[in-house]
Amino acid sequence: MKPRSYTSEGIVLARRSYGEADRILAVYSKLHGRVSLIAKGVRKLRSKKRGHIEIFNKISFQAVSGNSLDIMTEAIVIDDLFDLKKNLKKVSLAYYFMEVIGKITHEGEANYEVYNILQQSLQNLKKTKELKKLRFDFILRLLTVLGYWPNGKALPNPDEELEKVIERNLSSFRVGKILSS
């Protein structure tokens, strides 16, 4: 049970516009797992939070529990992954990470290891050139931590196993996978 007001660190998984000036964010937080937050007024030109809540950003945020959605009251960027955003293949893989975390986790279920896997994978993505290996490692570590795959056992087809677990196809482009037309 979350307290009425809370502070955490998190990574912005997704966002969508809501109403005239608001955004609904999906954030995977260090202390509370995946949370949905409404950021009031952030689409206004004068909003101070506007640049802080971009997808992939690692943020420190404060929120207040609301009736249906929690309300984000403050947000500060810790890491904006600016260098990563210059490379289209790396951005594609980062979107893939966000989609996988969004589909395999449940609202409010905190898992510090999942947070660390996501954070480390994004940091490794900044430096690596082996994107396919990073993607396979991300899937293996995630499935192992969540108990869907035995620890230490090789994973022959990570994409197939992941799609079995989440029971749907992913829409993000997979780096290193040949797409059939």
Structural domains of the chain in order of their starting residue, each with its CATH number = 5-79 (2.40.50.140), 84-166 (no CATH)
* DSSP code, position 107: B
pLDDT digits (tens, 9 = 90+) for 53-92: 889 999 999 999 888 899 999 999 999 888 888 899 999 9
Cα dihedral across residues 83, 85, 89, 93: positive or negative: positive
Segments in the chain below pLDDT 70: 1-2, 48, 50-51, 171-181
Run of H or E including 78: strand 70-79
